[in-house]
Structure 1
Amino acid sequence: MLERVLFICPEFHNYENEIVKELKTKFNHVDTITYDELKYIKINKLQSKWIKLKRLFTGVESKVLKGKYLYKNNFSSLNKDIGKYDFEYDRLLVIKGYGIYPETIRNIKAKVKTIYQWDTISRYPLVKDIYHCFDYVFTFDREDSKSGYGCYLPNFLCKTNVVSDVHHDVFYVGSLNKERYEYFSWLTEKLRLQGFNYFIKLIGDTRKYKDVDFIQSYEIDKDEYNQLLAASKGVIEFGREGQYGFTQRYYEGMLNKKVILTVGKYNVNDDEAPYIMAIGDEGFIDRTLLNQKYNALTKLPLPAIVDDIELGNWLDKVLCLR
């Protein structure tokens, strides 16, 4: 067991706490900096207008201009907080890293520094400016890896042992954004017309979406999430536009022997293919095929990737512990 690790990660559906628990089995001391990223990326209307005006004169993408503004004005306090950790570390693990300055990473005293990117570079282009400060860079996105932005490694998987009777045909829980709102507004209506039982929730600010039954403001805790997933036949895998990496839902579904209902076409390994079923362009799901696949999965072994990315094994790889 190594002595000390520094772990820096935005808060996201309690996954950061799952990582901390596993790190404590591998290090004597785990120093943790977790933070609400939304607190740092908020921008007021005046600032937004200034960015749009500057874009007209410079031709620079709005997301780049916004990022530079946020780095300079909003993220300075986070970097100051990180700078207070002055121990000598065996390992540094940063998840995502958006808003962290290169000098902040350089000033951390760690024998091995690793960053894992669980977002696409196209959404947060400035984050790649700190990659040179790390010994190892990993990404969940295949295309970002092909473009030289890190070694491809799928998202980690937190193993669970939840057993439940099936109550839902279709399951999805995720953060609210415009793309997901538009898709699930359309899909839930299609599912209703087909007579499917479903549990679909988007978590976010409900003020703009009053009386939308699949949007709520409060989080679903991980235990409840696991119970709901276990009680479903199919799990929807819905990636953002331009995203070429699977979410945790994809692997959690496989772990629990659920049918992965995909939006669009996916290239998958041979032992993952039996789990995959595409949602039709018109929102059609073949009920008979869904039931057949679900029943057949109970007799199949888990895909090899499930064990490879189990959180403990995943950490061993990203932190070079083996």
Structure 2
Amino acid sequence: MLARLSRWFDRRGWADILIGAPYLWLLIFFLLPFLIVAAMSLGTKTPTAPPISFGGEYPLLNWDSYARVLGDGLYLRAFLTSLANAGLAMVLCLLIGYPMALGLCRVSNGWRNILLMLVILPFWTSFLLRVYAWMGLMGRNSWFNRLLTDSWNLLVPVDWAVKSVPMMNTNFAVVLVMVYTYLPFMILPLYASLERLDPTLDEAAMDLGSRPFQVFRDVTLPQSVPGIVAGGMLVFIPAAGELVIPTLVGDASSPMIGRLISDEFSAARNWPMASAVAVVLLLIMVVPTMIYSHYQAKAEGSK
């Protein structure tokens, strides 16, 4: 037995371990938790501890939670609000992050290292502290709010003047803080994609008479699509399920889906309902990503 094990290690053992480790990680920390949540979504809410049961006097598989998710306007509005806010944040991150990533590729190496450090610098500060900082900036008596208020009152007629710009507890505040928070997740994949492009292609297009915008549209932009897709997913997926930002700066009358899941788990103690919402959200996020990855792999294989 030991001899066979030794021969396995000598031939392909370490390679199998290195290849299998990521799959084991996904099995333990993604697939198993997902299966547990999916099973909980088919349970029945009970006054016991934990507040969920299967079988006995309760149905073994209860689909009422999914019927409520798909039929209750509260959850449908929360899904639409989450997807709309996440989509808007993703588009704004792309519009802001693409020029920044392109600029990072065009500067000298010395400035590039400094600018990259500035991009990742917010990660060195607590996420919660950064959200609290934005809460202070958007408050009615903050210098930021007073500056925006004075600018607004200066540009509009007297009848439209306001005492302060309402920013806190709005979807505007949620999108603003999400753009600030997730912007580096858009810049870094875009930079990695743009940095690999061959600059001689742009020069060749310019030599053939293309204008700068045409070079960007016909040469640079199509080649950076993988970076755009990667950055878009890195922003959209966590933003759609965001909990902290909507809870602290969002509108309680228009909650995002992450807050509803948290409320169902903690306040309502309705674990099947919370699990069903989480499963539906995961499917909305993962299934399109898997479909895109499948067709992208087929497209690359046909080249």
Question: Does the pair score TM above 0.5?
Answer: no
User: What is the TM-score when the length of structure 1 is the normalising length?
Assistant: 0.24
Higher strand share: 1
User: What is the TM-score when the length of structure 2 is the normalising length?
Assistant: 0.25
Higher relative contact order (CA 8 A, sep 6+): 2
Indicate the structure (1 or 2) with the bigger Cα radius of gyration. 2
